[in-house]
Structure 1
Amino acid sequence: MKREAQHNVSEFSILGLSEKMELHLPIFVTILLLYILIIFGNLTIIAVIWGNSHLHSPMYILLLNLSLIDIAYTSNILPKLLNILLTEKKMISFVGCMTQLYFFIALASIEVILLAAMAYDRYVAICQPLRYSSLMSLKYCIRLAISAWTIGLLDPTGHISLVSKLSFCSSHRIDHFFCDLSPLLKISCSDTYNVEMMNYIVGSLLTLSTFLLTLISYAFIIFTIIKIKSAEGRYKAFSTCSSHLTCISIFYGTIICLYMRPASSYYPEQDKFFSLLYIVLVPLLNPIIYSLKNHDFKDGVSKIIHKLTL
């Protein structure tokens, strides 16, 4: 019986963003342009940080890792979506679907840990500047990054093990634009209780804990900023924090709303919209929010441009 459940379907059909053919070309062009911007923006961050020794500090090392995640995150999903829109070939193998789901969960897990680490880094820099070199040394930062990647890559193993044993005898049509957990559970004719419980438990331990750590860090940051006497200084600091918090709110808000709930409450159109927010919008905004508004990063870009033009 177990063997039958594992092999009752060899491939799935991903329905995509819309079944209206006339919308496929404009959606394809839009997604392609956004994907190019995401890759270009995040590769620029990696190149500038890698090529400037004065940017080899904890904050920028974490930012470099975040850019790597954003590139991998979107590349795990958008190329397949673009292929579906262009060729109408909607089929994906069972192994391909499980692989896409694995990397989706893994990369999201790594990102929430990195966002929490970056919030803590800013907390130490703003609230305890005299202790920054001891609390956030480069060695400690590298350990944080390695821990984030290790935890993230191990996190989906339980999910994938349980999902791969489900039976999909009722349908093989995934009403989404990638192999996400909720639409897969929706079309399964097996009991999905164990998968949902694991999702709640792991989600609560990892997502909510890192979210709370991020919020606490920014709460202390805002409290410290309020005490700044200069109105101009408060405005600049609040401007930076508000941008960071906007990006974090979109990312965590959509993840908590979409995944901290029963599979029975899956609504395709609504879920596709919110999924696009954290798969496309957040990786697009991260380069702007975390670096392009930063003077040190701008100096690094200027130096690289200067070297290239010599």
Structure 2
Amino acid sequence: MGISIRVRGLHKEFGDVAAVRGLDLEVRTGECFGLLGPNGAGKTTTLEILEGLQTATRGEVEVLGRTWEKAGNALRERIGVVLQENLLSDKLTVRETLELFRSFYSQGPDTEELLALLQLTDKSDSWVVRLSGGQRQRLSIACSLAGDPELIFMDEPTTGLDPQSRRALWQLISAFRARGRTVVFTTHYMDEAEQLCDRVAVVDKGQVIAVGTPAELVASLGGEHVVELTTQPALGPPDFESVAGVTAARTTLTGRLALSVSRPHLALPSILARIAERGAELSGLTTRNATLEDVFVSLTGRNLRD
């Protein structure tokens, strides 16, 4: 499998603010690759550098085996971009917008195909200003596909989409990948990353702090399940760190205790015994599968939306 993106020692500063701090990254050809992290982690800045919209302060960036400095025009023919916010012309119709974007490329699907693909045929003669937020987002995605790209970048592409449109976009991404194309996207939806991504990179403070398949990252917690509980009086993570079967303990934003465990049915008796030893009473308990958000909190001590 080839490499579609290679980044080494990427830095980007805006005055005294360092948005990206020595980021390293490789994306394989034909995979769906996700960037996860909180707001301000450097994800969007990194994408904009990969898309040729920003220049790096220093570091090496190769996209499809080329650099933006030497092959900018050629790269623009081969990639598609879905920005976090689009600035499409309000006074063009949906059809006119797609025809405009299609004219930028030497090859690609025709306008009718793009309209059908993003379920916009019935809105083809509507002005962009009259579209809903979800419809505008679908139009933005259609524009990104106008040149039949080998590689597509998507910055939170399903924000604002209704559940049906979101699922339709998932299918579109899967079909795009099935043709051997590459997808790089950011998201705050963990189910999205787990469903779509071959691999994900966790980004924090401008650096990649972990990378792997969703399953590999969840397994790195040392437990594939999470026991969440509340007690009266409230107990803290230190009360459970030495309990048999508990691999990690933390407090959630809602004040519940979250304990990572491999085998809930074996760990629960020890957890309940520890609560009794501390003279507390159990007031709430749930179990669930560990998620990528648990991975992020474990690595950084923060939630994805912090």
What is the TM-score normalised by the length of structure 2? Answer: 0.22
Quick one: higher RCO (CA 8 Å, sep 6+), 1 or 2?
1
Q: Which has the larger radius of gyration?
A: 2
More helix by share: 1
Bigger strand fraction:
2
TM-score (normalised: structure 1): 0.22
